[in-house]
Amino acid sequence: MTTWTETELSALRRAYASGTLKVSYDGRSVDYGSAEDLLRRIRLIEGEIAAATGKPKPRRSFASFAKG
């Protein structure tokens, strides 16, 4: 199992929020092919950190609207 760090996760989140696909942390750089690839990596790391620490995985929901 790979050990993920909060530093890596923070760098990924900052890159995603700014629309950048190149992520640098701890002297390394990774280029992601798309925002979806970057988001998948973020979700993977969040899940593994949550499992390792025993914390529940963050929940996300989306609002929906209907014209009635």
At residue 39, the pLDDT reads 94
* CA distance linking residue 9 with residue 54, whole number of Å: 17
For the segment 5-47, what is each residue's pLDDT rounded down to a tens digit? 888 899 999 999 999 999 988 888 999 999 999 999 999 998 8
Write down the domain spans for the chain: 6-53
Compute the CA torsion angle 41, 60, 54, 30 (nearest 10 deg): 10
